[in-house]
A and B are shown apart, each in its own frame.
Chain A
Amino acid sequence: MSKSRSSSLSAHAAALSSKSTANQSKFFKTLGEDIWKNKIEKINAELFVMTYGVIVQQLCQDLNNDYIKINENLFSMGYNIGVRLIEDFLARTALPRCPNMTMTSEVISKVAFKIFLNITPQIENWNTNRDSFSIILTENPLTEFVELPQDAMKQLWYSNIICGVLKGALEMVQLDCDVNFMTDVLRGDLTTEIKIKLNKILKDEIPLGED
């Protein structure tokens, strides 16, 4: 019993401290899939799309199609979810602090997106400082069956709630980031791309005792 426990223990530690990105990547992928499969209560994705669609529709109606304002509202809605959802994420995964944005991006795509939305987006477009990257949503569970009217296509970031969630969640782990949509297939673009740019690590807020 204790033998098998300690061997799985060192495997866990080894994967996390591994210098090989491929190993880490694989570990996160397995972790995300395992949590999704075994630990998560699920609901019909179509109900989710529909509900979100109704919320956006109501915002358009109330704010008289002022898409800039709608984007803002969707963003703060997401932010309010993100600052709370991060605790669920950390309690469930207990993953160590990421030493760099490369690992952060892996955790976001393979673990966070997997256990909350059941998708694993691609990470691309790193800048040379490696503090900015893009999340490419090849599938987006918020926009299934959605089509935008002409005027909305120019200004509305329909899924902006996701940016808000990411912003809120990252801030709670002391990463001050800008999170923005760059492109969206709903606007006629070829891809759906969210850009995350690290502004600064909020060093003063990192809990003492962690270093």
Chain B
Amino acid sequence: MGIEAILIINKSGGLIYHRSFTSPQVDPSNPTITSTTKHTLNSNDLLILASTLHSVFAISSQITPKALQLSQSNINYTIPYHPYVGVANPQTTPKNNMPTKYGSFKGDDYFKEPFHNWNKSGLKQLSTDQFTMYIYQTMTGLKFVAISSSVLPSGTGSGENNNNAGANTVNINGSQYNMGSQIADNLLRKVYCVYSDYVMKDPFYSLEMPIKSDLFDDRVKSLIDHLL
């Protein structure tokens, strides 16, 4: 899946990180218009986007029907691990190029087990005919947002990513899991790992404030670059 942008929103709804990954491509028929023009949000727009997302996220949690809230004990919030999302795959990477650790996370991937999704009733995914947005929320209230250029087919719950042929949906305990969403959750948990490693270790970083670390930026970019 192509990731267009990554956003991080703090627990009060403030935007603390934004990075766009679309490189300006010149349209050969009209060299004055670049393909990124549709994405030009200024910093004010971005702040509004962040706080709106924060609110919609909360509202979606509040409008969950009571009946569902009561019966939701049987919903499984575990997200399966997808191998090597956003990192070098040891099967296709020459051994001497294979990193032995990512930051302070030893091994050839940040984690290797299925994991719990803290976001139960908040907005998880938002899609239009143009893009899909995924949200991963941590227990401390941070939101990691990925905006993807892949479009979900409407009407089905299953994600269809051109590069994920085969089992598009995994059926576990009766609930359908969306492949695109799972991969996004795997990716965004890794962005969280990178955040915990590079932002939290900087004593000059004040909690809740905008992130300006180049190292963090580099690590996030590397995750996006390694996505298929």
A residues apposed to B, CB below 8 Å: 2, 5-6, 8-10, 12-13, 16, 38-41, 83-88, 90-92, 94-97, 172-173, 205, 207-211
Contact = CB atoms under 8 A, between A and B. Distances in A.
Contact of A91 (B61, B106, B172, B193): B193
Contacts of B77: 13, 96
Given A40-B106, A87-B138, 16 more contacts: A13-B78, A38-B106, A38-B107, A84-B200, A88-B200, A91-B189, A92-B105, A94-B116, A96-B116, A173-B140, A207-B11, A207-B118, A208-B57, A208-B122, A209-B120, A211-B69
A88 B78 contact: no
Contacts of B11: 205, 207
Interface residues on B, range: 35 or more
A210 B123 contact: no
B138 A209 contact: no
A96 B195 CA distance: 19
Quick one: which of A10, A16, A94 has the most chain B CB within 10 A?
A94
B143 to A, nearest CB: 8
Contact of B118 (A9, A86, A96): A96
A209 B106 contact: no
Interface string B32-48: 00000000000000000
B61 A6 contact: no
Contacts of B196: 87-88, 90-92
Given A5-B81, A87-B195, A39 B115 contact: no
B122 A9 contact: no
B80 interface: yes
B141 interface: yes
Contact of B172 (A9, A96, A205): A9
Contacts of B62: 208
Quick one: which of B78, B104, B116, B192 has the most chain A CB within 10 A?
B78
Interface of B: 11, 57-58, 60-62, 69, 76-78, 80-81, 101, 104-107, 111, 113-116, 118-123, 137-141, 167, 170, 172-173, 189, 192-193, 195-197, 200-201, 207
> Which 9 pairs between the two chains have the least Cβ-Cβ distance?
A209-B122, A94-B115, A207-B141, A87-B196, A91-B196, A208-B58, A84-B200, A96-B116, A88-B196
B57 A41 contact: no
A39 B107 contact: yes
A78 to B, nearest CB: 14
A95 to B, nearest CB: 6
Contacts of B138: 87, 90-91, 207
B140 A172 contact: yes
Contacts of A13: 76-78, 114, 173
Contacts of B118: 94, 96-97, 207, 209-210
Contacts of A38: 106-107
Nearest to B173: A10
B39 to A, nearest CB: 27
Contacts of A92: 105, 111, 193, 196
B200 A41 contact: no
Contacts of B137: 207, 209-210
Given A88-B196, A91-B195, A94-B116, A208 B105 contact: no
Contacts of B193: 91-92
B61 to A, nearest CB: 4
A6 B80 CA distance: 7
A41 B103 CA distance: 10
Nearest to A40: B106
A41 B75 CA distance: 36
Contacts of A16: 78, 116
A12 B170 contact: no
A137 B97 CA distance: 43
A1 to B, nearest CB: 9
